[in-house]
A and B are shown apart, each in its own frame.
Chain A
Amino acid sequence: MSSLSLAVRDASTMLRRNLLHARRYPSMTLNLLLTPVMLLLLFVYVFGDTMSAGIGTGGAGRSAYLAYLVPGILLLTIGGTTIGSAVSVSTDMTEGIIARFRTMAIHRGSVLIGHVVGSVLQCMASVVLVGAVGVAIGFRSSGATVVDWVLAAGLLTLVSLALTWIAVGMGLSSPTAEAASNNATPLIFLPLISSTFVPVHAMPGWFQPVAEYQPFTPAVETLRGLLLGTHIGHNGWLAVAWCVALTALGYFWSKARYDNPATR
């Protein structure tokens, strides 16, 4: 068996194991979905009328703000779901079975690849669920073509991959599940201070760079552009660059941590 097909086979075995975990114990995944759904409902129904003034749609009200909000909420959903990945990787590493895997003649990276692919699939499932809530309360993507949809799906996958690798690195660096959960909070904290809720230019001047120069804002702007036809500009390339950089960072970080468990 070639080393590639060995890798694919072992990684898919590990993926099945992770999906089995997720299916058997869905409570964590579902709990993590509560945050984006609650934020969505809170901002649409509680603050919606007030917030719509801030996005400059001239009193279009709640439905316009819903359209503005959904893309950011979808990205926040990904951030929240990957916290679960950090926790499950960290929990997994404390289990004896990882030591068993390390002494077996299997593809070395398969454990992590299984986690990553499983996490990306979970992110996409979460995005679909939260997106369905958005549609149920009235979100419509006006004028998005098939190409836009494909690109949007591609962007969401890319963000999921990038955040998952970072989360895996966090999970591997955390001695306990609690620590992993704490260390991974920026993944759901950063989208809160991006352009998810209000445009960057509506923020105080000193705060604008914080929102501007972080990975979520370009991704939010790009997704908004793809779904709603707003101007994307350089945000598209910026979002892809962030994703590639974070993926690479997370990958090498995770690999180093996994190969040297003693330094944990």
Chain B
Amino acid sequence: MPTSVMPTSKPEGGQQPLAAVTALGLRKAYGDKTVLDGIDLRIPAGSVFALLGPNGAGKTTTVQILSTLISADGGQAQVAGHDIAASPDGVRAAIGVTGQFSAVDGLITGEENMLLMADLHHLPRRDGRRVAAELLARFDLTEAAKKPASTYSGGMKRRLDIAMTLVGSPRIIFLDEPTTGLDPRARHTMWAIIRALVSDGVTVLLTTQYLDEADELADRIAVLDGGRIVAEGTAEELKRLIPGGHVRLRFTDPAAYRGAATALRDVARHDETLVLQISSDGSQRELRAILDRLDAAGIEADELTVHTPDLDDVFFALTGGSAGGTARRHAPDPQDTPDPRNAPDPRDTPGQPKENVR
């Protein structure tokens, strides 16, 4: 993988395909438990990169290493052009980190938290006050600014957390599970915040165990499992990795079922349940072809379902048990793979199962 270097100052002129973060063969073990088993990453400047994986996959460890919180046992990485081992302070000056556990000081007020960050970034007093007030307003915290942060709701704490991260105008932001534990509304607010960051030209590395979140926000996604990257690409590329697009027709009348099975070619039959399954990409043209054939045969299905492969399928196919990239259709142990369908509210998950009953 070619290693590009991003200048420490803001990139000048136009969009260049520079890498904000590169990593080669990152390894980390705690005792004899290998947490990261050779991670390679290349995150273009100004993009959103998602590390997707179940609990214990190594997402947080990756972020902790890249943000200089802990050191790697092996491999190397550059963040904003600085080597994480040789020049950690160079890295720190360019990044902002919002960890999995809220990194706010609960004993002091939201405003005091912001001013603390301003002081630590050595902003002149007046600038510090201005930046704090602006960010508090931008994240809808002005009203709560004088209250202790410990009294904030989960969503407010997370917003304060990100506001604090932005005080130093970092060029690269690490967000470790930014929406875990948030209610649907707060989750959507957070998504809007992240999109706004990107439009400012900031590079974002986020970790998530929610597929819809990666689908929604990320330009590129790396699927992490057991300390290895088992797949990487855009959401579309990942979806193409696995088969699974199909149309399902369900019948109550066995005669209609048999008729349809004859009228349509290439169907998978499920005789006990009277269900036919036809491979399809779910496009209007293919659907019409199926419906035309059924009409011509004078058959009406009781239910028609279109299933396009979504990241759930990719996730379950890629992260089922032992890593190594062997795609399996279903995860053998559902306990290891959090079901994203448990996400807070189905209405709020536009990237969710595209299964529409008609």
Contacts and interface: CB of A to CB of B under 8 A. Distances in A.
Interface in B40-60: none
B-side interface mostly? loop
B103 A17 contact: no
A101 to B, nearest CB: 8
A55 to B, nearest CB: 44
Contacts of A20: 107-108, 112
Contacts of A50: none
Nearest to B121: A104
A105 B117 CA distance: 11
A234 interface: no
Given A13-B120, A17-B116, A100 B103 contact: yes
B351 interface: no
B244 interface: no
Q: Say which size band chain B's interface belongs to.
A: 20 to 34
Given A20-B112, A262-B70, A97 B104 contact: yes
A106 interface: yes
Interface residues of A, number: 22
A96 B101 contact: yes
Given A103-B92, A105-B93, A106-B120, A17 B101 contact: no
Contacts of B122: 1, 9
A201 interface: no
Interface string B109-128: 00010001001111000000
B95 to A, nearest CB: 7
B69 A103 contact: yes
Given A20-B108, A24-B108, A103-B69, A96 B103 contact: yes
Contacts of A24: 107-108, 148
Interface string B205-235: 0000000000000000000000000000000
B108 A99 contact: no
B37 interface: no
A99 B69 contact: yes
Contacts of B30: 262
Contacts of B165: 100
B106 interface: yes
B170 to A, nearest CB: 10
Contact of A96 (B68, B99, B112, B121): B99
Interface of B: 30, 67-70, 89, 92-93, 95, 97, 99, 101-108, 112, 116, 119-122, 148, 164-165, 168
The 3 tightest CB contacts between A and B, nearest first, are A96-B103, A100-B103, A105-B92
